[in-house]
Amino acid sequence: MIGVTGPYLYIGSLRAEKIAEEFGTPVYVYDAELVEENYLRLRRSFRYGNLEVMYACKANNSVEILKHLRDLGAGLDAVSPWEVALGVRVGFRREKILFTGTSVTVEEMKFVRGELGVLVNVDSIPQLRRYGKTFPETEVSVRINPGIGAGHHEYAVTGGVTKFGIYINQLDKVEEVLREYRLRLVGLHAHIGSGILRPEPFVETAERLLKVAQLFRDLEFVDIGGGFGIPYRPGERPLDLDYLGSRLSSLFEEFSSKYGSVKLRVEPGRFIVGSAGVLLVRVVDIKEVEVGGTRKVFVGVDSGMNHLIRPALYGAYHEVVAVSKADRPRVLTADVVGNVCESGDVLAVNAQLPELEEGDVLAIMNAGAYGYSMSSNYNMRPRPPEVVVRGASAKLTRRREVLEDLLRVFVEL
């Protein structure tokens, strides 16, 4: 549970302020029980039993969370060779991992397929050829671009006219290359985008994929990708999961009764972890200026776009909560800005906040997905630590970087 009671924000049964004191700021904090709840919520919305939830670890690769999801029975969607390696190291069974890369080299496929024994989901016809030449007479999966895309921002749209997938009008080429190298197509895949709050694009994707699936006999799974959105803004309507789960279940039931059972795979990242994480930051500087006769306030914190790039990159909205003043009237309109030397370094624009003072802790909400995993060392700043909460216990699971971590990679210093 992450929520406000009285003046306090709680994560599990711990006050956020206490966690900030114990582990320092900035710090990413995740609620393991909420991760589990989100996972189970998604599973429950599907009536279709032959379902596998492949967690997209690009959203959050905290090993603690990966282990938890592994224990719940999840598979893993990995988009780079090292995500695959991490999954194997964490103990995901090889057959429960799918490697969906883009601009993939032969060396990468040799590592993933040859060394780690994980199925490759191919993104282009030339890649399929390279795969066939390197691993003839083996199993393979292909990513189809179904010709539709959706997402919370144009950068998060990965279907339609984008670099992703084998276009649906290239299917004869797929068949040709499969024949040439005697490859067995075991999976069809699509991922049309991220942060989608309407069910229709998913239903349409499934319809188009299942149509393609009729052309191939040996299919073990049809993977409709991830992209299930979550509400970030107050009052934003959540995705109607029950409706979506029911529509997709019907489509797969119908297909299976005609052509034999096929596994339905989904690859959620954000839906599982987004709401289960916050970034705790401390107010270090409050700048008040007058612009054209009106007051403008910049609340400077000890973090920034290097730790959470979504607001800077996509103009994404993240709710900000003053963790021990949550019940005070929100009388202040301010930009919450970081310590990085760029004007785009914002965590929130025109946030509604209570009156603040230096030392206050703020929670940047819904930061569990694409927060830490997109962080960087820009400006020579360390990445924050990660803490996982279960009820009343808080555990450090990734430590804060220290200066030596950043200096270590220089060949000469």
**Catalytic positions:** 341
Q: Which is nearer to ligand LLP, 255 or 271 (CB)?
A: 271
Dihedral class, residue 355 (left if φ above 0, else alpha if ψ from -120 to 50, else beta): beta
Name the minimum Å distance from CB 86 to ligand LLP: 16
Name the minimum Å distance from CB 22 to ligand LLP: 28
Record the tokens describing residue 163, joined without a space.
């670099």
The window from 56-64, 130-138, 338-346, 349-357 that contacts ligand LLP (CB under 6 A) reads 56-64
When asked if residue 275 is in the footprint of ligand LLP (CB under 6 A), the reply is: no
The window from 14-22, 36-44, 53-61, 230-238 that contacts ligand LLP (CB under 6 A) reads 53-61
CB atoms within 10 A of CB 295: 11
Q: Are 98 and 141 in contact (CB under 8 A)?
A: yes
Name the minimum Å distance from CB 281 to ligand LLP: 18
**Nearest residue to 158 (alpha-carbon basis) of 43, 264, 252, 77:** 77
When asked if residue 245 is in the footprint of ligand LLP (CB under 6 A), the reply is: no
CA distance 79 to 76: 10
When asked if residue 59 is in the footprint of ligand LLP (CB under 6 A), the reply is: yes
**Nearest residue to 60 (alpha-carbon basis) of 276, 316, 380, 354:** 276
Q: Contacting ligand LLP (CB under 6 A), which of 60, 100, 124, 205?
A: 100
**Nearest residue to 240 (alpha-carbon basis) of 201, 267, 269:** 201
Sorted by sequence, the CB contacts under 8 Å of residue 9 that are 6+ apart come out as 2, 3, 15, 16, 17, 278, 321, 323, 324, 326, 363
Q: Which is nearer to ligand LLP, 25 or 366 (CB)?
A: 366
Which one-letter DSSP state was computed for residue 99? E
Q: Contacting ligand LLP (CB under 6 A), which of 15, 70, 265, 270?
A: 270
When asked if residue 368 is in the footprint of ligand LLP (CB under 6 A), the reply is: no
C-alpha atoms less than 13 angstroms from C-alpha of 15 in its C-beta half-sphere: 13
When asked if residue 282 is in the footprint of ligand LLP (CB under 6 A), the reply is: no
When asked if residue 370 is in the footprint of ligand LLP (CB under 6 A), the reply is: yes
When asked if residue 123 is in the footprint of ligand LLP (CB under 6 A), the reply is: no
Dihedral pair phi/psi, residue 36, rounded to 5°: -65, -45
Give the containing element (helix H, strand E) for 125.
Answer: helix 125-134
Q: Which is nearer to ligand LLP, 267 or 302 (CB)?
A: 267
Name the minimum Å distance from CB 272 to ligand LLP: 8
Binding mask 153-172 for ligand LLP (x = CB under 6 A): ---x----------------
When asked if residue 61 is in the footprint of ligand LLP (CB under 6 A), the reply is: no
Dihedral pair phi/psi, residue 28, rounded to 5°: -85, 130
Which residues contribute to the site for ligand LLP (CB under 6 A)? 56, 58-59, 77, 79, 100, 156, 191, 194-195, 225-228, 267-271, 310, 369-370
